[in-house]
Amino acid sequence: MTEEKIQSLDKALLTIAQWKAEGKSIAFTNGCFDIVHIGHVDYLEKARSQGDKLVLGLNTDASVQRLKGETRPIVNETGRSRVIAALGFVDLVVLFDEDTPKSLIEAIKPDILIKGDDYTVETIVGADFVIANGGTVKTIPLVKGFSTSSIVEKIRKSG
């Protein structure tokens, strides 16, 4: 069931330790993933291809609201986490309440840290930590023309 893929940090660390003991590489990415669209699906599928397991840090509702404004998220964290966990190429979802995933990245110690190509390695939170610990940081091309903000704006204009 998808709920089994949504874990607290403590439980996730045990799961990740088991995967690492099996020799699996851990890829990590994060985001809000509010109103999941083809851009998200394409990005996460590509992120998963970078490692044996994909762990996704998902911003809590409070974190999204601080980052995106009081009208966001559109979909609450329970709904967002269930939809993301239902994707076959996402192996684990961990919610985080901070504005950045820095402490989550430091706890998980991923082998590969991934963000979209709207970032550079120098601007990716946690990149320095991952590299210092022998990991790699990669950016993935985003599907042009798709963003939750543009979808929300389109809905507002049509309503």
> In the prediction, which pLDDT does 151 show?
64
Question: How far is 74 from 72, CA to CA, in rounded Å?
Answer: 5
Mean pLDDT over the full length of the chain:
93
**Which residue(s) pair with 112 in the sheet?**
27, 136
For residue 125, the domain's CATH number is 3.40.50.620
**Structural domains of the chain, count:** 1
> In the prediction, which pLDDT does 149 show?
64
- For 87-96, what is each residue's pLDDT tens digit? 999 999 999 9
Residue-range definition of the domain harbouring residue 113: 2-158
- For 49-89, what is each residue's pLDDT tens digit? 999 999 999 999 999 999 999 989 999 999 999 999 999 99
pTM: 0.92
From residue 76, alpha-carbon distances to 34, 73, 126 in Å are: 8, 6, 26
Contact 135, 112 (CB under 8 A): yes
